[in-house]
Amino acid sequence: MLPLFPLPNVVLFPGGLLPLHIFEPRYRAMTADALEGDRRIGMVLLQPGYEVDYEGRPPVYPIGCSGVIAHSVRLDDGRYHIVLRGLDRFRIVSEDHARAYRRAAIETLFDPALEDDDRRDMSDLRASLAAFLGDSYQPLSPMPDAEFVHTLAQSLDLEPLEKQALLESENLCLRARSLVQLLEMKRLLAGMPAGPDVRH
């Protein structure tokens, strides 16, 4: 069973780094249990309307991302500062309610290997993303495709639901294409000239 940490505004991607402040008693217990076990926690996004049942088990999106606690500090009052490193996308199969915090049986979701056509598409998509990023692309250029796409998805200033849609994309090419389209939309909404053509 994977402990679940549902939040209304945070989406984790594989390879991403996520600092978290753990203060609610149920999630302090979750963190303590994770640190005594395999250090894994599953990040999931709360669905709209969660406020009416926040203390209970409000609905979450079924696809999330597991992370391992890469760093932790326990404060004197029992709170924690932790850093999660994203591992794998997953789908919730069922939930267990035996503890104060939520746990789930999950199915790990793996991106299929890129075929030749996909690799060509990915090359074009990376070029489009590089054009959007300008000079800030250079430090990211050596990254493998998955790390590159997930780093951008994690770090760019996108709405939580936009990030959730990226996380739910069925494969890496779709995720990269959706990311390009999101950036193009934001460019247009800001009244900037259109960027590179991303139709493939």
| CB 110, CB 102: distance < 8 Å | no
Strand, helix or coil for residue 109: strand
Residue 191 sits at φ, ψ, to 5 deg, of: 80, 20
Query: How are beta strands 17-22 and 2-7 bridged, if at all?
Result: unpaired
DSSP 43: E
Within 4-81, residue ranges assigned H as helices are: 25-36
Tell me, what's the pLDDT at 136? Answer: 81
pLDDT confidence of residue 200: 40
Low-confidence ranges of the chain (pLDDT < 50): 195-200
The confidence score (pLDDT) of residue 192 equals: 60
Specify the pLDDT at position 12.
Answer: 98
What's the confidence (pLDDT) of residue 193?
56
Q: Please name every residue paired with 82 in a beta bridge, in sequence order, or none if there are none.
A: 20, 72
pLDDT tens digits for range 167-188:
999 999 999 999 999 999 888 8
pLDDT at position 198: 41
